[in-house]
Chains A and B, each alone.
Chain A
Amino acid sequence: MSILDEFLFPFCVTAHSFNHDKSQVALCPNSNEVQIYGRSGTQWTLLHVLKEHDLLVTSIDWARRTNRIVTCSQDKNAYVWTLDPVANTWNPTLVHLRVNRAATQAKWSPLENKFAVASGDKCVAVCYFGEDNDWWVSKHIKKPIASTVLCVDWHPNNVLLACGSTDMKARVFSAYIKGVDEKPAPSAWGERLPFSTLCGEFESPSCGWVHSVAFSPDGESVAFASHDSSVTVATPSTGEVLSVRSHYLPFIALTWAGPQTIVACGHDCSPMVFSKGGAEWRLSKKLGEDDKSRRSATASPSNNNSAFNLFRQMDSRNQPTKSAASSSDGSLRSVHQNTITELHRDPSGNAAEISTSGLDGRLVLWAVQA
Protein backbone atom coordinates (compact mmCIF):
# COMPACT_ATOMS: atom_id res chain seq x y z
CA MET A 1 0.00 0.00 0.00
CA SER A 2 2.03 2.95 -1.18
CA ILE A 3 -0.59 5.70 -0.98
CA LEU A 4 -0.97 7.25 2.43
CA ASP A 5 -3.47 9.96 1.59
CA GLU A 6 -5.10 11.47 -1.44
CA PHE A 7 -6.86 14.81 -1.73
CA LEU A 8 -8.65 16.38 -4.65
CA PHE A 9 -8.85 20.12 -5.19
CA PRO A 10 -11.07 21.74 -7.82
CA PHE A 11 -8.16 23.38 -9.65
CA CYS A 12 -4.76 22.48 -11.13
CA VAL A 13 -2.14 22.49 -8.41
CA THR A 14 1.01 23.89 -9.96
CA ALA A 15 3.07 24.25 -6.78
CA HIS A 16 2.74 23.03 -3.21
CA SER A 17 4.61 23.03 0.07
CA PHE A 18 3.69 21.53 3.43
CA ASN A 19 4.52 23.06 6.77
CA HIS A 20 6.68 21.23 9.31
CA ASP A 21 4.07 18.71 10.51
CA LYS A 22 1.86 18.59 7.39
CA SER A 23 -1.03 20.23 9.24
CA GLN A 24 -1.07 23.03 6.67
CA VAL A 25 -0.24 23.20 3.01
CA ALA A 26 0.45 26.20 0.78
CA LEU A 27 -0.74 25.68 -2.80
CA CYS A 28 -0.77 27.62 -6.00
CA PRO A 29 -4.05 27.02 -7.83
CA ASN A 30 -2.51 27.88 -11.22
CA SER A 31 -2.95 31.61 -10.56
CA ASN A 32 -1.18 34.55 -9.01
CA GLU A 33 -2.26 33.68 -5.48
CA VAL A 34 -1.05 31.26 -2.88
CA GLN A 35 -3.71 29.54 -0.81
CA ILE A 36 -2.96 28.08 2.60
CA TYR A 37 -5.18 25.24 3.74
CA GLY A 38 -5.34 23.73 7.20
CA ARG A 39 -6.17 20.13 7.85
CA SER A 40 -9.31 19.24 9.73
CA GLY A 41 -9.77 15.49 9.73
CA THR A 42 -9.77 14.33 6.12
CA GLN A 43 -10.68 17.71 4.68
CA TRP A 44 -8.67 20.84 4.05
CA THR A 45 -10.16 24.23 4.89
CA LEU A 46 -8.95 27.45 3.37
CA LEU A 47 -7.19 29.54 6.02
CA HIS A 48 -5.31 32.28 4.18
CA VAL A 49 -4.95 33.67 0.70
CA LEU A 50 -1.61 35.31 -0.04
CA LYS A 51 -2.18 37.77 -2.83
CA GLU A 52 0.77 39.86 -3.80
CA HIS A 53 2.15 38.50 -7.05
CA ASP A 54 0.90 39.79 -10.40
CA LEU A 55 1.54 36.70 -12.50
CA LEU A 56 1.59 32.92 -12.04
CA VAL A 57 3.31 31.80 -8.86
CA THR A 58 5.89 29.28 -10.03
CA SER A 59 7.25 28.00 -6.75
CA ILE A 60 6.49 27.92 -3.03
CA ASP A 61 8.81 26.74 -0.28
CA TRP A 62 7.80 26.58 3.38
CA ALA A 63 10.79 26.64 5.73
CA ARG A 64 9.95 24.12 8.42
CA ARG A 65 11.94 25.53 11.33
CA THR A 66 11.69 29.28 10.88
CA ASN A 67 8.12 28.99 9.50
CA ARG A 68 8.67 31.40 6.65
CA ILE A 69 7.37 30.93 3.13
CA VAL A 70 9.24 32.06 0.04
CA THR A 71 7.23 32.38 -3.16
CA CYS A 72 8.45 33.35 -6.58
CA SER A 73 6.54 34.17 -9.68
CA GLN A 74 6.70 34.89 -13.37
CA ASP A 75 6.42 38.58 -12.46
CA LYS A 76 10.20 38.59 -11.73
CA ASN A 77 9.60 38.97 -7.99
CA ALA A 78 9.96 36.85 -4.91
CA TYR A 79 8.35 37.46 -1.53
CA VAL A 80 9.22 36.11 1.91
CA TRP A 81 6.09 35.71 4.03
CA THR A 82 6.18 35.66 7.81
CA LEU A 83 3.27 34.75 10.01
CA ASP A 84 2.05 37.36 12.46
CA PRO A 85 0.71 35.13 15.25
CA VAL A 86 -1.35 37.87 16.90
CA ALA A 87 -3.26 38.98 13.84
CA ASN A 88 -2.99 35.53 12.23
CA THR A 89 -1.98 36.95 8.86
CA TRP A 90 0.97 36.34 6.60
CA ASN A 91 2.92 39.49 5.87
CA PRO A 92 4.97 39.74 2.69
CA THR A 93 8.43 41.21 2.37
CA LEU A 94 9.61 41.95 -1.13
CA VAL A 95 12.94 40.39 -2.09
CA HIS A 96 15.12 42.53 -4.30
CA LEU A 97 15.99 39.88 -6.87
CA ARG A 98 17.19 42.21 -9.63
CA VAL A 99 16.32 39.73 -12.38
CA ASN A 100 14.79 40.77 -15.67
CA ARG A 101 12.90 37.58 -16.43
CA ALA A 102 10.51 35.23 -14.68
CA ALA A 103 11.61 33.34 -11.58
CA THR A 104 11.13 29.60 -11.99
CA GLN A 105 11.93 27.98 -8.65
CA ALA A 106 12.79 29.06 -5.10
CA LYS A 107 14.24 26.90 -2.34
CA TRP A 108 15.33 27.56 1.24
CA SER A 109 18.79 26.36 2.20
CA PRO A 110 19.03 23.60 4.84
CA LEU A 111 19.75 26.13 7.62
CA GLU A 112 17.01 28.42 6.27
CA ASN A 113 19.17 31.53 6.41
CA LYS A 114 19.40 31.83 2.61
CA PHE A 115 17.34 30.86 -0.36
CA ALA A 116 18.07 30.43 -4.03
CA VAL A 117 15.82 31.58 -6.86
CA ALA A 118 16.29 30.21 -10.36
CA SER A 119 15.26 32.54 -13.13
CA GLY A 120 14.86 32.89 -16.86
CA ASP A 121 17.50 35.61 -16.79
CA LYS A 122 20.22 32.95 -17.13
CA CYS A 123 21.17 33.32 -13.48
CA VAL A 124 20.47 32.03 -10.00
CA ALA A 125 19.86 34.65 -7.31
CA VAL A 126 21.11 33.62 -3.88
CA CYS A 127 19.35 35.74 -1.28
CA TYR A 128 20.22 36.42 2.33
CA PHE A 129 18.93 38.88 4.90
CA GLY A 130 21.09 42.00 5.06
CA GLU A 131 20.82 43.19 8.66
CA ASP A 132 22.10 46.70 8.02
CA ASN A 133 19.43 47.46 5.42
CA ASP A 134 16.80 45.24 6.98
CA TRP A 135 15.84 43.56 3.72
CA TRP A 136 16.67 40.55 1.58
CA VAL A 137 19.68 41.06 -0.66
CA SER A 138 20.54 38.93 -3.67
CA LYS A 139 23.80 37.88 -5.26
CA HIS A 140 23.76 36.45 -8.76
CA ILE A 141 25.49 33.36 -10.12
CA LYS A 142 25.72 34.00 -13.85
CA LYS A 143 28.68 32.38 -15.57
CA PRO A 144 28.64 30.02 -17.43
CA ILE A 145 24.87 29.54 -17.45
CA ALA A 146 23.70 30.06 -21.02
CA SER A 147 19.94 29.83 -20.68
CA THR A 148 16.95 29.72 -18.31
CA VAL A 149 17.60 27.95 -15.02
CA LEU A 150 14.68 25.64 -14.28
CA CYS A 151 15.54 24.13 -10.93
CA VAL A 152 17.82 24.45 -7.90
CA ASP A 153 18.71 22.26 -4.96
CA TRP A 154 20.89 22.83 -1.90
CA HIS A 155 23.63 20.54 -0.63
CA PRO A 156 23.30 19.56 3.06
CA ASN A 157 26.31 21.75 3.90
CA ASN A 158 24.27 24.89 3.13
CA VAL A 159 26.94 26.18 0.71
CA LEU A 160 26.81 24.15 -2.51
CA LEU A 161 23.94 24.68 -4.92
CA ALA A 162 22.97 22.49 -7.86
CA CYS A 163 21.03 23.99 -10.72
CA GLY A 164 19.60 22.61 -13.92
CA SER A 165 19.10 24.73 -16.96
CA THR A 166 17.63 24.71 -20.44
CA ASP A 167 21.13 24.80 -21.87
CA MET A 168 21.02 21.03 -21.26
CA LYS A 169 23.45 21.05 -18.35
CA ALA A 170 23.21 20.44 -14.62
CA ARG A 171 25.81 22.39 -12.67
CA VAL A 172 26.98 22.61 -9.08
CA PHE A 173 28.07 26.02 -7.82
CA SER A 174 29.28 27.35 -4.54
CA ALA A 175 26.84 29.80 -2.99
CA TYR A 176 29.05 30.70 -0.07
CA ILE A 177 28.09 34.09 1.38
CA LYS A 178 30.65 35.76 3.61
CA GLY A 179 29.13 36.73 6.89
CA VAL A 180 26.23 34.31 6.62
CA ASP A 181 28.02 30.99 6.08
CA GLU A 182 30.78 29.25 7.97
CA LYS A 183 33.59 27.95 5.81
CA PRO A 184 32.45 24.50 4.61
CA ALA A 185 34.48 21.36 5.17
CA PRO A 186 36.32 20.17 2.05
CA SER A 187 34.23 17.67 0.15
CA ALA A 188 34.31 15.73 -3.10
CA TRP A 189 33.07 18.90 -4.77
CA GLY A 190 36.12 20.97 -3.82
CA GLU A 191 37.62 23.06 -1.06
CA ARG A 192 38.01 26.79 -0.49
CA LEU A 193 35.04 27.71 -2.63
CA PRO A 194 34.34 31.41 -3.09
CA PHE A 195 30.91 32.46 -4.27
CA SER A 196 29.97 31.37 -7.80
CA THR A 197 32.76 28.80 -8.29
CA LEU A 198 31.70 26.09 -10.71
CA CYS A 199 32.27 22.74 -9.00
CA GLY A 200 30.84 20.41 -11.62
CA GLU A 201 28.99 20.39 -14.92
CA PHE A 202 27.04 17.38 -16.17
CA GLU A 203 24.98 16.41 -19.16
CA SER A 204 22.64 13.55 -19.89
CA PRO A 205 23.33 11.18 -22.82
CA SER A 206 20.85 12.66 -25.29
CA CYS A 207 20.86 16.19 -23.87
CA GLY A 208 17.57 17.80 -23.00
CA TRP A 209 16.39 20.50 -20.63
CA VAL A 210 17.19 19.67 -17.03
CA HIS A 211 13.85 19.79 -15.26
CA SER A 212 14.83 18.82 -11.77
CA VAL A 213 18.03 18.38 -9.80
CA ALA A 214 18.64 16.93 -6.33
CA PHE A 215 21.60 16.19 -4.10
CA SER A 216 21.74 12.80 -2.39
CA PRO A 217 21.14 12.85 1.39
CA ASP A 218 24.89 12.64 2.06
CA GLY A 219 25.72 15.21 -0.61
CA GLU A 220 28.10 12.93 -2.47
CA SER A 221 26.04 12.62 -5.63
CA VAL A 222 23.71 14.79 -7.62
CA ALA A 223 20.82 13.38 -9.65
CA PHE A 224 18.96 15.19 -12.37
CA ALA A 225 16.00 14.45 -14.61
CA SER A 226 16.14 15.81 -18.09
CA HIS A 227 13.75 16.09 -20.99
CA ASP A 228 15.22 13.16 -22.87
CA SER A 229 13.35 10.85 -20.47
CA SER A 230 16.43 9.98 -18.49
CA VAL A 231 17.65 10.24 -14.93
CA THR A 232 21.39 10.79 -14.51
CA VAL A 233 23.39 10.45 -11.30
CA ALA A 234 26.84 12.04 -11.06
CA THR A 235 29.30 11.29 -8.28
CA PRO A 236 32.47 13.39 -8.43
CA SER A 237 34.42 11.33 -5.90
CA THR A 238 34.33 8.25 -8.14
CA GLY A 239 34.01 10.27 -11.34
CA GLU A 240 31.08 8.23 -12.56
CA VAL A 241 28.05 9.63 -14.35
CA LEU A 242 25.38 6.93 -14.60
CA SER A 243 22.25 7.40 -16.67
CA VAL A 244 19.03 5.49 -16.76
CA ARG A 245 17.07 5.88 -19.96
CA SER A 246 13.43 5.41 -19.13
CA HIS A 247 10.65 4.11 -21.34
CA TYR A 248 8.30 6.79 -20.15
CA LEU A 249 7.60 10.40 -20.91
CA PRO A 250 10.04 12.91 -19.38
CA PHE A 251 10.18 13.46 -15.63
CA ILE A 252 9.84 16.96 -14.29
CA ALA A 253 10.47 16.41 -10.59
CA LEU A 254 12.74 14.11 -8.67
CA THR A 255 14.05 13.58 -5.17
CA TRP A 256 16.07 11.07 -3.18
CA ALA A 257 14.18 8.75 -0.84
CA GLY A 258 17.27 7.15 0.66
CA PRO A 259 20.96 6.76 -0.18
CA GLN A 260 20.25 4.35 -3.05
CA THR A 261 16.72 5.30 -4.02
CA ILE A 262 15.43 8.05 -6.28
CA VAL A 263 11.78 8.86 -6.95
CA ALA A 264 10.95 10.73 -10.15
CA CYS A 265 7.63 11.79 -11.63
CA GLY A 266 6.32 13.92 -14.42
CA HIS A 267 4.33 13.63 -17.58
CA ASP A 268 3.54 9.98 -17.17
CA CYS A 269 1.49 10.66 -14.04
CA SER A 270 3.02 8.10 -11.70
CA PRO A 271 5.99 8.36 -9.40
CA MET A 272 8.70 5.92 -10.50
CA VAL A 273 11.21 4.54 -8.05
CA PHE A 274 14.78 4.00 -9.24
CA SER A 275 17.21 2.07 -7.10
CA LYS A 276 20.88 1.32 -7.37
CA GLY A 277 21.65 -2.35 -7.73
CA GLY A 278 25.37 -2.94 -7.86
CA ALA A 279 26.93 -0.61 -10.38
CA GLU A 280 23.89 0.76 -12.11
CA TRP A 281 20.58 2.43 -11.52
CA ARG A 282 17.41 0.72 -12.65
CA LEU A 283 13.71 1.45 -12.56
CA SER A 284 12.45 -0.73 -9.75
CA LYS A 285 8.86 0.27 -9.21
CA LYS A 286 6.00 2.39 -10.44
CA LEU A 287 3.96 3.64 -7.50
CA GLY A 288 0.25 3.59 -7.34
CA GLU A 289 -0.76 1.30 -10.16
CA ASP A 290 -0.99 -1.96 -8.28
CA ASP A 291 -3.04 -0.67 -5.39
CA LYS A 292 -6.35 -2.42 -5.96
CA SER A 293 -7.76 -1.49 -2.59
CA ARG A 294 -7.02 2.21 -2.71
CA ARG A 295 -9.51 4.53 -1.18
CA SER A 296 -10.85 6.94 -3.72
CA ALA A 297 -10.01 10.59 -3.23
CA THR A 298 -12.36 12.69 -1.18
CA ALA A 299 -14.59 14.58 -3.62
CA SER A 300 -13.68 12.21 -6.41
CA PRO A 301 -14.88 13.00 -9.91
CA SER A 302 -15.72 9.41 -10.76
CA ASN A 303 -19.43 10.23 -10.81
CA ASN A 304 -18.88 12.52 -13.78
CA ASN A 305 -16.88 9.85 -15.55
CA SER A 306 -19.50 7.14 -15.26
CA ALA A 307 -22.30 9.28 -16.73
CA PHE A 308 -20.05 10.40 -19.54
CA ASN A 309 -18.99 6.86 -20.27
CA LEU A 310 -22.52 5.52 -20.17
CA PHE A 311 -23.46 7.72 -23.09
CA ARG A 312 -20.20 7.06 -24.83
CA GLN A 313 -20.78 3.32 -24.73
CA MET A 314 -24.24 3.81 -26.18
CA ASP A 315 -22.53 5.17 -29.26
CA SER A 316 -21.94 1.93 -31.12
CA ARG A 317 -18.84 3.15 -32.92
CA ASN A 318 -16.93 3.45 -29.73
CA GLN A 319 -14.34 0.73 -29.27
CA PRO A 320 -12.81 0.87 -25.83
CA THR A 321 -9.07 0.49 -26.17
CA LYS A 322 -7.45 -2.30 -24.23
CA SER A 323 -4.38 -0.34 -23.38
CA ALA A 324 -2.51 -1.15 -20.21
CA ALA A 325 -2.46 2.43 -19.08
CA SER A 326 -6.18 3.11 -18.87
CA SER A 327 -8.98 1.22 -17.22
CA SER A 328 -12.35 0.66 -18.84
CA ASP A 329 -13.96 3.88 -17.66
CA GLY A 330 -11.43 6.02 -19.52
CA SER A 331 -9.45 7.22 -16.56
CA LEU A 332 -5.79 6.39 -16.19
CA ARG A 333 -4.78 3.50 -13.96
CA SER A 334 -2.34 5.72 -12.13
CA VAL A 335 -3.49 7.78 -9.17
CA HIS A 336 -2.84 11.12 -10.81
CA GLN A 337 -4.90 11.68 -13.93
CA ASN A 338 -2.65 14.35 -15.35
CA THR A 339 0.97 15.51 -15.21
CA ILE A 340 2.52 15.62 -11.76
CA THR A 341 3.86 19.13 -11.22
CA GLU A 342 5.84 18.88 -8.00
CA LEU A 343 7.33 16.26 -5.74
CA HIS A 344 8.55 17.01 -2.25
CA ARG A 345 10.07 15.07 0.62
CA ASP A 346 8.26 14.88 3.92
CA PRO A 347 9.15 18.07 5.84
CA SER A 348 9.34 16.22 9.12
CA GLY A 349 12.37 14.42 7.76
CA ASN A 350 10.94 11.00 7.04
CA ALA A 351 12.94 9.93 4.01
CA ALA A 352 10.47 7.36 2.78
CA GLU A 353 7.50 9.69 2.49
CA ILE A 354 6.87 12.04 -0.39
CA SER A 355 4.05 14.26 -1.54
CA THR A 356 3.03 15.00 -5.12
CA SER A 357 0.72 17.56 -6.66
CA GLY A 358 -0.68 17.40 -10.16
CA LEU A 359 -2.52 19.26 -12.87
CA ASP A 360 -5.55 17.09 -12.09
CA GLY A 361 -5.89 18.84 -8.72
CA ARG A 362 -4.75 15.89 -6.67
CA LEU A 363 -2.39 16.15 -3.74
CA VAL A 364 -1.15 12.68 -2.80
CA LEU A 365 1.06 11.47 0.02
CA TRP A 366 3.06 8.34 -0.75
CA ALA A 367 5.16 5.91 1.21
CA VAL A 368 8.11 4.80 -0.87
CA GLN A 369 9.13 1.20 -0.47
CA ALA A 370 12.15 0.47 -2.64
Chain B
Amino acid sequence: MAHRKLAIDGFDEEQQQIAQQMQILSTKSDHEVASLVDQKASVVRAAITRGNSVEALEKALSEPPYGHGLEAAQSANALLVAEVLMATRTQEVNNVVTGLSEDCRDVLLKYIYHGLAHPADFNCGVLLSWHERVVEAGGLGSIVRVMADRKTI
Protein backbone atom coordinates (compact mmCIF):
# COMPACT_ATOMS: atom_id res chain seq x y z
CA MET B 1 0.00 0.00 0.00
CA ALA B 2 3.04 2.25 -0.11
CA HIS B 3 1.93 3.87 -3.36
CA ARG B 4 -1.25 5.21 -1.75
CA LYS B 5 -0.80 8.84 -0.89
CA LEU B 6 -4.03 9.59 0.95
CA ALA B 7 -4.70 8.21 4.46
CA ILE B 8 -8.39 7.58 3.93
CA ASP B 9 -9.14 7.07 7.64
CA GLY B 10 -8.18 10.65 8.27
CA PHE B 11 -11.10 11.77 6.15
CA ASP B 12 -13.68 9.73 8.04
CA GLU B 13 -16.12 12.28 9.44
CA GLU B 14 -17.37 10.12 12.25
CA GLN B 15 -13.86 9.49 13.57
CA GLN B 16 -13.26 13.22 13.55
CA GLN B 17 -16.48 13.83 15.46
CA ILE B 18 -15.52 11.25 18.07
CA ALA B 19 -12.05 12.81 18.36
CA GLN B 20 -13.68 16.21 18.88
CA GLN B 21 -16.01 14.86 21.56
CA MET B 22 -13.09 13.25 23.36
CA GLN B 23 -11.11 16.51 23.19
CA ILE B 24 -13.95 18.25 24.98
CA LEU B 25 -13.80 15.66 27.75
CA SER B 26 -10.17 16.28 28.56
CA THR B 27 -10.24 19.56 30.38
CA LYS B 28 -6.63 19.34 31.41
CA SER B 29 -3.49 19.23 29.32
CA ASP B 30 -1.50 16.02 28.83
CA HIS B 31 1.12 16.98 31.41
CA GLU B 32 -1.48 17.83 34.05
CA VAL B 33 -3.21 14.50 33.56
CA ALA B 34 0.07 12.60 33.81
CA SER B 35 1.02 14.40 37.02
CA LEU B 36 -2.47 13.77 38.39
CA VAL B 37 -2.02 10.04 37.83
CA ASP B 38 1.39 10.16 39.55
CA GLN B 39 -0.07 11.95 42.57
CA LYS B 40 -2.85 9.38 42.77
CA ALA B 41 -0.24 6.61 42.58
CA SER B 42 1.53 7.74 45.73
CA VAL B 43 -1.72 8.06 47.71
CA VAL B 44 -2.95 4.69 46.43
CA ARG B 45 0.29 2.86 47.27
CA ALA B 46 0.24 4.33 50.76
CA ALA B 47 -3.30 3.06 51.24
CA ILE B 48 -2.32 -0.40 49.98
CA THR B 49 0.55 -0.67 52.46
CA ARG B 50 -1.86 0.36 55.22
CA GLY B 51 -4.13 -2.49 54.11
CA ASN B 52 -7.06 -0.21 53.24
CA SER B 53 -8.17 -1.70 49.94
CA VAL B 54 -11.47 0.18 49.67
CA GLU B 55 -9.83 3.58 49.96
CA ALA B 56 -7.01 2.59 47.60
CA LEU B 57 -9.43 1.39 44.94
CA GLU B 58 -11.71 4.40 45.22
CA LYS B 59 -8.76 6.73 44.82
CA ALA B 60 -7.37 4.79 41.87
CA LEU B 61 -10.78 4.84 40.16
CA SER B 62 -11.46 8.50 40.79
CA GLU B 63 -11.09 10.98 37.92
CA PRO B 64 -10.11 8.51 35.22
CA PRO B 65 -8.01 10.09 32.47
CA TYR B 66 -10.66 10.19 29.75
CA GLY B 67 -9.58 11.90 26.60
CA HIS B 68 -7.82 11.57 23.33
CA GLY B 69 -4.11 10.95 23.00
CA LEU B 70 -3.49 10.30 26.69
CA GLU B 71 -2.22 6.74 26.26
CA ALA B 72 0.68 7.04 28.69
CA ALA B 73 -1.47 8.38 31.53
CA GLN B 74 -4.24 5.90 30.74
CA SER B 75 -1.97 2.87 30.84
CA ALA B 76 -0.28 4.15 34.01
CA ASN B 77 -3.70 4.47 35.66
CA ALA B 78 -4.69 0.99 34.47
CA LEU B 79 -1.54 -0.53 35.98
CA LEU B 80 -2.25 1.34 39.21
CA VAL B 81 -5.76 -0.11 39.42
CA ALA B 82 -4.35 -3.58 38.70
CA GLU B 83 -1.90 -3.14 41.59
CA VAL B 84 -4.79 -2.48 43.98
CA LEU B 85 -6.77 -5.45 42.63
CA MET B 86 -3.87 -7.81 43.14
CA ALA B 87 -3.07 -6.46 46.60
CA THR B 88 -6.60 -7.08 47.89
CA ARG B 89 -7.08 -10.32 49.82
CA THR B 90 -9.50 -12.80 48.27
CA GLN B 91 -11.86 -12.74 51.25
CA GLU B 92 -12.11 -8.97 51.06
CA VAL B 93 -12.99 -8.74 47.35
CA ASN B 94 -16.70 -9.15 47.98
CA ASN B 95 -16.81 -6.42 50.61
CA VAL B 96 -14.83 -4.01 48.49
CA VAL B 97 -17.08 -4.51 45.47
CA THR B 98 -20.31 -4.07 47.40
CA GLY B 99 -18.87 -0.98 49.07
CA LEU B 100 -18.23 0.79 45.78
CA SER B 101 -20.69 3.25 44.28
CA GLU B 102 -22.36 2.43 40.95
CA ASP B 103 -20.13 4.92 39.13
CA CYS B 104 -16.95 3.41 40.60
CA ARG B 105 -18.13 -0.11 39.78
CA ASP B 106 -18.67 0.79 36.14
CA VAL B 107 -15.20 2.39 35.91
CA LEU B 108 -13.69 -0.67 37.64
CA LEU B 109 -15.30 -2.96 35.09
CA LYS B 110 -13.83 -0.84 32.29
CA TYR B 111 -10.37 -1.33 33.78
CA ILE B 112 -10.97 -5.07 34.21
CA TYR B 113 -11.82 -5.39 30.52
CA HIS B 114 -8.85 -3.22 29.57
CA GLY B 115 -6.62 -5.55 31.57
CA LEU B 116 -8.14 -8.70 30.08
CA ALA B 117 -7.40 -7.28 26.64
CA HIS B 118 -3.70 -6.99 27.46
CA PRO B 119 -2.84 -10.38 29.03
CA ALA B 120 0.88 -9.72 28.72
CA ASP B 121 0.76 -6.83 31.20
CA PHE B 122 -1.98 -7.93 33.57
CA ASN B 123 -2.77 -10.94 35.76
CA CYS B 124 -5.90 -12.26 34.10
CA GLY B 125 -6.73 -14.81 36.75
CA VAL B 126 -7.13 -12.10 39.38
CA LEU B 127 -9.05 -9.94 36.91
CA LEU B 128 -11.46 -12.76 36.16
CA SER B 129 -12.28 -13.34 39.80
CA TRP B 130 -12.91 -9.60 40.24
CA HIS B 131 -15.02 -9.65 37.07
CA GLU B 132 -17.25 -12.33 38.55
CA ARG B 133 -17.88 -10.29 41.68
CA VAL B 134 -18.46 -7.02 39.89
CA VAL B 135 -20.95 -8.56 37.45
CA GLU B 136 -22.73 -10.23 40.34
CA ALA B 137 -23.19 -6.80 41.88
CA GLY B 138 -23.84 -4.81 38.71
CA GLY B 139 -25.57 -7.30 36.45
CA LEU B 140 -25.35 -7.57 32.68
CA GLY B 141 -26.24 -3.87 32.48
CA SER B 142 -22.79 -2.90 33.77
CA ILE B 143 -21.11 -4.90 31.00
CA VAL B 144 -23.36 -3.20 28.42
CA ARG B 145 -22.33 0.15 29.85
CA VAL B 146 -18.63 -0.67 29.45
CA MET B 147 -19.24 -1.46 25.81
CA ALA B 148 -21.56 1.47 25.07
CA ASP B 149 -19.60 4.23 26.75
CA ARG B 150 -17.69 6.51 24.42
CA LYS B 151 -15.45 7.62 27.27
CA THR B 152 -12.76 4.95 27.02
CA ILE B 153 -10.07 4.70 29.64
Q: Are B150 and A207 in contact (CB under 8 A)?
A: yes
Of the candidate stretches B51-59, B115-123, B134-142, the one touching chain A is B134-142
Chain B contact residues: helix, strand, loop or mixed: helix
Residues in chain A near residue B151, CB distance under 8 A: 206-207
- A 130-148 binary contact with B (CB < 8 Å = 1; else 0): 0000000000000000100
CB-CB contacts below 8 Å: B137-153 with A: 138-142, 144-145, 148-151
CA gap between A250 and B146 in the complex, in Å: 13
CA gap between A206 and B103 in the complex, in Å: 10
CA gap between A247 and B139 in the complex, in Å: 4
CA gap between A208 and B141 in the complex, in Å: 12
Q: Are A247 and B140 in contact (CB under 8 A)?
A: yes
Q: Does A245 count as interface, using CB distance less than 8 angstroms?
A: yes
B144 in complex: contacting residue of A146, A168, A229, CB < 8 Å: A229
Q: Are A227 and B141 in contact (CB under 8 A)?
A: no
User: Which residue on chain B has the smallest CB distance to residue A243?
Assistant: B102
Provided the pairs A206-B149, A208-B148, A227-B148 are in contact, do residues A246 and B17 lie with their beta carbons within 8 angstroms?
A: no
CA gap between A332 and B133 in the complex, in Å: 24
Q: Are B141 and A249 in contact (CB under 8 A)?
A: yes
B142 in complex: contacting residue of A207, A227, A247, A250, CB < 8 Å: A247
Which bracket fits the contact residues of B? 10 to 19
CA gap between A245 and B102 in the complex, in Å: 8
The number of inter-chain residue pairs (CB within 8 angstroms) is 51
CA gap between A246 and B139 in the complex, in Å: 8
CB-CB contacts below 8 Å: A227-285 with B: 227-230, 245-250, 268
CA gap between A230 and B140 in the complex, in Å: 12
A207 in complex: contacting residue of B102, B138, B139, B148, CB < 8 Å: B148
Residues in chain A near residue B138, CB distance under 8 A: 247
Provided the pairs A146-B17, A206-B106, A207-B150 are in contact, do residues A248 and B140 lie with their beta carbons within 8 angstroms?
A: yes
6 contacts between A and B (CB under 8 A): A208-B145, A228-B141, A229-B141, A245-B141, A245-B142, A247-B138
Q: Which 7 A-B pairs have the closest CB atoms?
A: A247-B139, A229-B141, A208-B148, A206-B149, A228-B148, A206-B145, A229-B144
The residues of B with any CB-CB pair to A shorter than 8 Å are: 17, 102, 106, 138-142, 144-145, 148-151
Contacts A207-B150, A229-B144, A245-B141 aside, 15 further interface pairs with beta carbons under 8 A come to A146-B17, A206-B106, A206-B148, A229-B148, A245-B102, A245-B142, A245-B145, A246-B139, A246-B141, A247-B139, A247-B140, A248-B139, A250-B141, A250-B144, A268-B140
